[in-house]
Each structure stands twice: as structure tokens, then as C-alpha cells.
Amino acid sequence: MNRVIIFDTTLRDGEQAAGGMLNVQEKLGIARQLECLGVDVIEAGFPASSKGDFEAVRHIALEVRRSSVCALAHANPKAIDTAWEAIGEAEHPRIHVFLSASDVHLAHQLRKSREEVLGQARDMVARARKYVGDVEFSPMDASRTEPAYLYTILEAVIEAGATTVNIPDTVGYAIPQEFGGLIRGILDNVPNIGRATISVHCHNDLGLAVANSLEAVRQGARQVECTINGIGERAGNASMEEIVMAIKTRHDLFDLSTGIDSTQIYKTSRMVSDLTGFMVQPNKAIVGSNAFRHQSGIHQDGVLKKAITYEIMDPRDVGIPASSLVLGKLSGRHAFKERLAELGFALAEEDLNRAFLAFKDLADKKKEVTDRDIETLVAEEMRTSSETYHLDHVGVSCGDHGMPTATVRLIGPGGQVSADAALGTGPVDAVYKAINRIIGVPNRLTEFSVSSVTAGIDAIGEVLIRIESDGVTYTGRGAATDIIVASARAYMNALNRLLAAKKRNSVDAG
């Protein structure tokens, strides 16, 4: 088999990262894009973990038709039943059961013997198999599990019906040669391994997630679990764009392929970054803003003569858009819709109408509207489509001798309009205080940064903030040509996420 199955866990392990919380609409938007990208399996979430996750997984299962939709489940009957309830109507459903396998987890976390865990794994895979033919099993912390015991568990779960066995390097401890050896050992020592696909799931604590995954593939693994931009628990997961482009660029070495349409990579990366609030570092391989930029004179000279001198990949292959001027203030709704489609956005009619109004507004302020501006604008629209409170107006008065003052007007649940004003140490502080006077949920600002989406004095400013409430971090993003407005939108975005999480928690508790 020369095809590597790409299993994307951006919506599950990726979303688990501190501050990366997404709402149902945002998850659906990402799932649609993952399907366009050609992902084989979308791990949509962990239905038993919360009502919100359950709903998101259910919506994704109802909508996604080409990719398999996978739900994660603890190895217990209720979690497996709930997972099935959420994905039962998917075109290609998969249940992913996991259970710790290493002695360190058994002794200190599960407090169970190896025999008990073996029996539980076997029984729970059999239970999942009663619902669906596509069942994956993960012995958590596999890279720190004694190999002989790991082989025994794998044999037992395959016997019970697992069609994929996933080998997680849960704590990012493995080194490529060693991890590749583990995969080889599984192929050589698990008698029925021919009846299942070997998958790998590597974390990046030592910066080796991609290297470990690639070595595993070289040794015979045929599914890689990964996330867009490498987001995930702690230091993250193996980055999908790096895995896919390594397999494609070094076809000479791997002689393998994936089903990914690589020209969709850049767009997916931007979307995930915009919606999760996790910025992509400029030097990030494949999707960083510097990834295809040549600074040194010698390199520039070489690339101008022949790109292959210093470029191992064509930026167009990952869908990096040429920085073109696309639309202006005379462009109509039809042209805007076409451009959105070319950029890969399929918006519902109502969202399209709102995005078009925002585009017209932007085109009035900004001479040149680029693809990046349009992507930012669509992300802003997606952020505001499921708000509890909407920012209807923000105004500030400030200056070197004045007292920074802000007025805000918000539209809350049931269309209720509330307005207030506050003084602050600066204009942003004043705006945030005025908003807090209306919403009244205690929180603390822990991070604030501003960047510009494109170059030029009329560029859109993008604000990223993180706030903390009851020990949980919430990310917010906002964009506008006015950075005070962008700051206010970012704060509203974070507060809306906080309010949604509190609502979900109270429903879960009740």
C-alpha cells in the first residue's frame, strides 16, 4: 500500500491546546475546509467530554460526506455509546477508543493491572465494533510501554475488531530511530497485524513529532495523525503540512503519496490560525510568512536565475497566493462571491451578505483589497456569526493631556441594547472597562498584541488577546482598519467565547 492515510486531529487534539477553544460554527467551518483539503479522516472531537463537543461532532458528522468522521472515546461503555450517538449518521463513521498502556500510567493514573487493562481494551473495542466496522484503538503512552505488553494488547484489540491501531507518543519522548524501531517491532511481533492499519500520533515536546512520524512511515505505518500548523496539547502535534510536503517533495525517498490537495494547505493554515488565535511563527516550515522569502543577495540572485537553486518546493504548490490586487470599491457582489470561491470559501447566503457589506466598507477605506484582506474579513464575519453580545459601536477620546474615555454600545441576548462609558489608562483600557461594565464577567487580560495584515498605512490591523477567567484561557481576535475597533472586537470575541463556555458548563452540570 503506497498511500498514507492523513488523519487530522486539529478539532480534537488541536483544540485541546490551552486557549484554543472553538465554537460549533467555527469547528464546522474548519471541518468543511479539511474536507476540501482532502483529509481522509477528520477527528471531529470527543463527544463524551462535553455537550458542546457532542453537538460539534454531530453537526460535522451530518455535513461532511467525503472524509471519514471520527469521534474519540474513553474505553468505557458510556463514552463509546455517546461517540456513536454523535457520529452515527456520518457517511463514513469511525470510533476511536483509547486507554493508557504504559506501566507509569497504569500504576499512577488508572491504578489497574496489565491484565485488567488488556481485558478492558478488548471488551471496549468489541463494543465499538457492534456499532461500526471502522474502529481505531490507541494504547496511550505507547512509546513508554514495554514492547512485549504493547504487542499483546495490539493483538487482542485486532482480534476484537480494531481496524486501525494507533501508536501514540503521547508525551513526545521518542527519538526517530527508536520510534521507527517500535513500528518495525510491531510489524514483526504482532501476528495479526496484517488485518489492521498501523497509525502514529506524535507529540512535539522534543521538537521531533514530524521526524518521528516520517520515520514510522518509512518503517511501515500507513496512517499519520497530525494537526494543521502543528497545534495541540503542550508543544503540539505533528504538523500536517510538514508531513504532507515532506512525503511529496521527497517522493524519491518515500515512494508514497497522500490524498491531500496541497494547494489548499496555506488557506487551511490561515483559517485555523484565524479561528483558534494561534499565530503561525514567521519561520514555520511550509506556512510561515518567511518560508518562501529569500533575504540573502546570493539566494535572491540564484532564485531569479532558476528557482530550483534555493527553492525545494514551489510556493504555488502549497497555495500561497500571489500578493495580487483583487477587488476594489467598484467591484460588485458577483465578483466578490467569485473571488471568495477562488479562495475556497463557500459561505451561506446570510454570511455572504454580511461579508459583502463588510467588504464594501473596507473598500471605501482601503484602496487595494488583497486576498489576505478578504481572508481576514471572512474570519471576522465567522467570528461574529455566533455571538451572545455584539459590538454595535465604540468611540474613544484620547490624547497626550486628555483622560482616555470610551463609550460602547452592545447588543445583547434578545436584541437588548446597552450603552456605557469608562475612563482608562489608555484608549484600549477605557474600551475594555466600558465593555466590562455591561457584561460584568470577571476576567484578566493576559496577552495583547497587534499586527498588520498587509503592508501600508491603510492596512487592516489585527489584534490578538488572551483573557483568563476561573483558571481557563480564552483567545480573541479582531480585525479592522482602526486598531481601537480591532481591539474592541478582539475583546468581544474572547468574552463571547468565555460566555459560551460558561453556558455550556452550566448545561453540562445541569
Binding site for ligand KIV (CB under 6 A): 13, 98, 138, 140, 166, 168, 170, 201, 203
Contacted entry of Zn ion, ligand KIV, none for residue 140, CB cut-off 5 to 8 Å set by kind: ligand KIV
For residue 211, what are the CA distances in angstroms to 173, 178, 208, 216, 237?
A: 12, 11, 5, 9, 11
C-alpha cell at 481: 482598519
Least separation in angstroms between residue 225's CB and Zn ion is 8
Residue nearest to Zn ion (CB): 13
Contact status, residue 48 vs residue 74, Cβ threshold 8 Å:
yes
Q: How many positions of this chain bind Zn ion (CB under 5 A)?
A: 1
Q: Which residue has the cell 504555488?
A: 316
Beta strand 461-469 pairing with 472-480:
antiparallel
User: Which residue number, 43 or 373, has a Cβ lying nearer to ligand KIV?
Assistant: 43
Least separation in angstroms between residue 171's CB and Zn ion is 9
User: Which residue number, 95 or 140, has a Cβ lying nearer to ligand KIV?
Assistant: 140
User: 141: closest CA among 115, 164, 119, 108?
Assistant: 108
Contact status, residue 132 vs residue 93, Cβ threshold 8 Å:
yes
User: Which residue number, 176 or 302, has a Cβ lying nearer to ligand KIV?
Assistant: 176
User: Which residue number, 71 or 352, has a Cβ lying nearer to ligand KIV?
Assistant: 71
Bridge-partner residues for 100, per DSSP? 140
Q: Looking at this protein, which amino acid is placed at residue 453?
A: V
CA distance 457 to 509: 49
CA distance 8 to 340: 24
Least separation in angstroms between residue 432's CB and Zn ion is 35
Least separation in angstroms between residue 8's CB and ligand KIV is 13
Least separation in angstroms between residue 160's CB and ligand KIV is 18
User: Which residue number, 13 or 53, has a Cβ lying nearer to Zn ion?
Assistant: 13
Name the DSSP letter for residue 203: B
Contacted entry of ligand KIV, Zn ion, none for residue 273, CB cut-off 5 to 8 Å set by kind: none
Maximum pairwise Cα distance, the chain: 79
Contacted entry of Zn ion, ligand KIV, none for residue 356, CB cut-off 5 to 8 Å set by kind: none
C-alpha cell at 351: 454570511
CA distance 6 to 197: 12
Measure the N-to-C terminal CA separation of the chain; round to a whole number of Å.
49
Q: Which residues of 259-272 are buried (b: 16+ CB within 10 A; e: fewer)?
A: ebebebbbbbbbbb
Contacted entry of ligand KIV, Zn ion, none for residue 44, CB cut-off 5 to 8 Å set by kind: none
Contact status, residue 161 vs residue 124, Cβ threshold 8 Å:
no
DSSP H/E element including 96:
strand 93-100
User: Which residue number, 203 or 354, has a Cβ lying nearer to ligand KIV?
Assistant: 203
Q: Looking at this protein, which amino acid is placed at residue 277?
A: G
User: 317: closest CA among 261, 371, 372?
Assistant: 261
Contact status, residue 405 vs residue 437, Cβ threshold 8 Å:
no
Bridge-partner residues for 406, per DSSP? 396, 422
User: Which residue number, 208 or 408, has a Cβ lying nearer to Zn ion?
Assistant: 208
In degrees and rounded to multiples of 5, residue 60 shows phi and psi of -65, -40
Phi and psi based region of residue 231 (left: phi greater than 0; alpha: psi -120 to 50; beta: remaining): beta
Question: What number of helices (H) and strands (E) belong to the chain?
Answer: 17, 16
Contacted entry of Zn ion, ligand KIV, none for residue 138, CB cut-off 5 to 8 Å set by kind: ligand KIV
- Binding range to Zn ion, per CB under 5 A, among 7-15, 53-61, 111-119, 138-146: 7-15
User: Which residue number, 203 or 433, has a Cβ lying nearer to Zn ion?
Assistant: 203
Contact status, residue 465 vs residue 476, Cβ threshold 8 Å:
yes
CA distance 183 to 186: 5
Least separation in angstroms between residue 46's CB and Zn ion is 11
Contacted entry of Zn ion, ligand KIV, none for residue 219, CB cut-off 5 to 8 Å set by kind: none
Contacted entry of Zn ion, ligand KIV, none for residue 276, CB cut-off 5 to 8 Å set by kind: none
User: Which residue number, 26 or 141, has a Cβ lying nearer to Zn ion?
Assistant: 141
Least separation in angstroms between residue 142's CB and ligand KIV is 8
User: Which residue number, 166 or 475, has a Cβ lying nearer to ligand KIV?
Assistant: 166
Least separation in angstroms between residue 200's CB and ligand KIV is 10
Least separation in angstroms between residue 417's CB and ligand KIV is 45
User: Which residue number, 13 or 351, has a Cβ lying nearer to Zn ion?
Assistant: 13
Least separation in angstroms between residue 446's CB and Zn ion is 25
Least separation in angstroms between residue 51's CB and ligand KIV is 20
User: Which residue number, 215 or 380, has a Cβ lying nearer to Zn ion?
Assistant: 215
State whether residue 92 is helix, strand or coil: coil
Q: Pick from 4, 5, 8, 13: which binds Zn ion (CB under 5 A)?
A: 13
Contacted entry of ligand KIV, Zn ion, none for residue 127, CB cut-off 5 to 8 Å set by kind: none
Contacted entry of ligand KIV, Zn ion, none for residue 98, CB cut-off 5 to 8 Å set by kind: ligand KIV
C-alpha cell at 460: 487592516
Least separation in angstroms between residue 54's CB and ligand KIV is 17
Sequence-distant (6+) residues with CB within 8 A of 506 are none
* Sites of contact with Zn ion (CB under 5 A): 13
